[in-house]
A = this chain, B = another copy of it.
Amino acid sequence: MTNVLSVRDLHFSYHDHHAALRGVSFELCEGDKVALVGPNGAGKSTLMLHLNGILRGQGDVTVGGVRLTRDNLPAIRAMIGLVFQNPDDQLFSPTVFDDVAFGPLHMGLPKEEVLTRVEAALQAVMMSAYRDRMSHHLSVGEKKRIAIATVLSMNPQILVLDEPSAGLDPRARRTLINLLRELPITMLVSTHDMRMVQELFPRTIVMDEGLIAADGETKEILSDEGFLNEHGLEKP
């Protein structure tokens, strides 16, 4: 399997000198579905913001063989689709269509291409019927799916999702899990939902205090209760 993402010895401090990442390294191979877990403040979101260069720390990030530098940021952003925790942060356009079309339009793609991409992305999340709805009035679960469509329309090679299941009711959560299972794409998903981790992800990365505490098979990690407790986690 080809290596599509590699992060090497990543360090980052916020302007208040709080070290949020203190040497993080890992790799993703094509088709990997990986969970990223850890207590509040572990650095999960900070790490994700590095993957497409919204934050820039010390260390290397390489996406699809291209090293992330200031000059190839736009190209990297076309390869990594980042979905934020709160769909309200992701959806800033009046209609679902406008939002899903933003990425392709910004890339300067021709009109027909934009339209087909939007259709395909909405289909993938089963929301084609919502094309002309206003995102403002959708339920949380629906918004989550649209948020995923907004990055799918950019045809990313890797999907990075920050706590996708937070705030969903059981039914919406179930729909989301099925959706993620069926998307044939490399993904890294941060979450506090240990049952989803167990169900969906063969591999898990545990972060705590800016470091990777474990990286391996989900089954093994979840069976070590002492280790989980140590990092503020719970068995599913």
Could you list which residues of chain A lie within 8 angstroms of chain B, going by C-beta atoms? 39-41, 139-141, 166-172, 174, 192, 194, 232-234
Contacts and interface: CB of A to CB of B under 8 A. Distances in A.
A141 B232 CA distance: 13
Question: How many copies of this chain?
Answer: 2
B141 A170 contact: no
23 contacts: A39-B170, A39-B171, A40-B139, A40-B140, A40-B169, A40-B171, A40-B172, A41-B139, A166-B167, A167-B167, A168-B192, A169-B192, A169-B232, A169-B233, A170-B192, A170-B194, A170-B232, A170-B233, A170-B234, A171-B232, A171-B233, A171-B234, A174-B234
Nearest to A194: B170
Nearest to A86: B167
A139 B39 CA distance: 11
Nearest to A191: B169
A141 B233 CA distance: 14
A232 B171 CA distance: 5
**A-B residue pairs, 7 tightest by C-beta:** A171-B232, A170-B234, A40-B169, A169-B192, A40-B139, A39-B169, A170-B233
